[in-house]
Amino acid sequence: LEVTGGELAVRAEGSATYQLRGIALTARRGDGGAAAIALSADVDDVTREPLALSLSREAGDAPPKLDLSASGLPLAALAPSLPGPLARVDRGVVDKLVVHLRPSARGFDVEGEVKVAGVRVLWPAVALEPLADIDGRLAGRVGWSRDSQTFTVSEGKLERGGLAIGVNGTVSRALSRPRFQVSLRLPQTPVQAVVDALPRALMTKLDGLRVAGELSWAVDVALDTGDIDAIAIDSRPELDGFLVRSMGHGLNLENLRYTVTYPVKTGDGAASTRTTGPLSANWVPLEAISRYVPLAVTTTEDPFYSHSGISTFAIRESIVANLKRERFVRGASTITQQLVKNLFLGPQKTIGRKLQEMFIAWRLEETLGKDEILALYLNVIEFGPGIYGIGNAAEHYFGKYARDLTPLEAIFLASIIPNPRKYYAFFAQGAVSPRWRSYLGELLHVMVSRGKITSEEAESQAPYEPIFLGQDGGNGGPYPNAPDDDDLAPPDDGVEP
């Protein structure tokens, strides 16, 4: 059977009508049940070259084979039928699509390749701005075994610009409690090629970043959704001759040794700016801060002096917590990363912000000493509505200089850092809750267990109820829109060892 020059209009419910022209159809039947069907057609305003589809079956009981190829598919036209964030693609084309499907009695194997060009997609979880001008190629093999309920990805390759990442993995128990094993391999590649491969929307503060050197990276992840706590992440980056030539336009970390102006919110939530730094009038040097304050924040936030800006422990614990809750409930930012976020990036929760935050934090630790970073952190962060810096916090909450803060006062100020505007309710109401008193006592005893303070110092702070002596506090007055007691509960994820 042969058909040539055919035309057909296809319309799916709720979508546009597609005109197929120049349809060519060939169907042949051979001996022993062998058969083959080939179809090609031009799709108006969709394909650049004819869409080709072939279906064949060998003699005997062999299952059919399916082959598909297409070129020039506009993604915007296909977006409504695509899953997840791909449904928000509003620009770009599929330059090449090739799929070979080989079913079997026990599953199937698919080999394919897709190349895209000029793609733009709005993906708020990744970046606030659209990800634009994305070109790339994805190829590989996917297999499915019905007996073992296992998907297998092999010979996978993701390419963009000068970047090529190998992808292999399995998903076992796919229909019950999936268990994932993923391996990613980046062969030795110029680091600048890695930077250039990132969409500009992911590099808003690092636009113009220039680097030298080579990078290779091996990542292996094992995740059993039936035992999330057992997640294993093995990441092995290797740098050779790495050098940062420029951090990009307008980002000079050396200036942090003098003064820095950064965005803040006033007590009523209005946007404003604040200037601090070693040469500013409001600066409180580390030696003028009670020794208990650094000890407290490195208990509640992270073991600052034992990492180089990024904590692999915190990243792992964050992944576990977020997977268990099936939503974002815990970040993994170190003190250095928090400082970077406050100074340069803002609070938005996106992958782009996190990537920049991690790189700038690592670079900041290469530029400034640990004590310099910690002093900046304590002078920058917010301790309550419009209350920025440890000097203002000590005066506002306790009516004293930062050098005079007690262990209890230090651990209280450290404990409210995760959400200072919410926990300001304690001060406004004149006292912490019984649950928070217990929490402060636990934190002080954690400090004892780590050799930061003596047991006598901790016990001397009982009953662990800070006495607020600063501005307008301690009167037990009402706090507008105050959170209820459950909302003011201590965090349940502990502190990092």
Give tens-digit pLDDT for 264-313.
999 999 999 999 999 999 999 999 999 999 999 999 988 888 888 877 77
Please state, rounded to an integer, the average pLDDT across all residues of the chain: 87
Q: Which residue has the tokens 């604040």?
A: 274
Give tens-digit pLDDT for 406-423.
999 999 999 999 999 999
Give me the pLDDT at residue 223, please. 92
Give me the pLDDT at residue 485, please. 59
Check: CB of residue 379 under 8 Å from CB of residue 372: no
**In which band, very low, low, confident or very high, does the pLDDT at 492 lie, cut at 50, 70 and 90?**
low
Q: How many CA atoms lie within 13 A of 44 on its CB side?
A: 11
What does the alpha-carbon distance between residue 306 and residue 279 come to, in Å, rounded to a whole number?
A: 28
What does the alpha-carbon distance between residue 29 and residue 234 come to, in Å, rounded to a whole number?
A: 53
**In which band, very low, low, confident or very high, does the pLDDT at 476 lie, cut at 50, 70 and 90?**
very low
Two structure tokens written together for 371: 């004590």
Give me the pLDDT at residue 283, please. 98
pLDDT exceeds cutoff 50 at 332: yes
**In which band, very low, low, confident or very high, does the pLDDT at 321 lie, cut at 50, 70 and 90?**
low
Give tens-digit pLDDT for 67-86.
888 887 788 877 887 888 88
What average pLDDT does this structure show over 384-392?
97
Share of the chain above pLDDT 90, in %: 59
Total-model pTM: 0.83
Give me the pLDDT at residue 493, please. 53
Give tens-digit pLDDT for 351-369.
899 899 989 999 999 999 9
pLDDT exceeds cutoff 70 at 456: yes
Amino acid present at 97: L
What average pLDDT does this structure show over 129-134?
93
pLDDT exceeds cutoff 70 at 483: no
Residue 441 phi, psi dihedral angles, 5° rounding: -65, -40
What does the alpha-carbon distance between residue 360 and residue 358 come to, in Å, rounded to a whole number?
A: 6
Give me the pLDDT at residue 494, please. 52
Segment among 21-35, 153-167, 295-309, 466-480 with least mean pLDDT: 466-480
**In which band, very low, low, confident or very high, does the pLDDT at 346 lie, cut at 50, 70 and 90?**
confident
What average pLDDT does this structure show over 79-103?
86
Q: Which residue has the tokens 């500009």?
A: 200
Domain segments of the chain: what residues? Answer: 1-63, 72-246, 253-459
Two structure tokens written together for 206: 């690092």
More confident residue, 351 or 329: 351
Give me the pLDDT at residue 76, please. 81
What does the alpha-carbon distance between residue 436 and residue 48 come to, in Å, rounded to a whole number?
A: 65
**In which band, very low, low, confident or very high, does the pLDDT at 37 lie, cut at 50, 70 and 90?**
confident
What does the alpha-carbon distance between residue 137 and residue 161 come to, in Å, rounded to a whole number?
A: 9
CATH topology of domain 253-459: Penicillin binding protein transpeptidase fold (1.10.3810)
What average pLDDT does this structure show over 365-376?
96
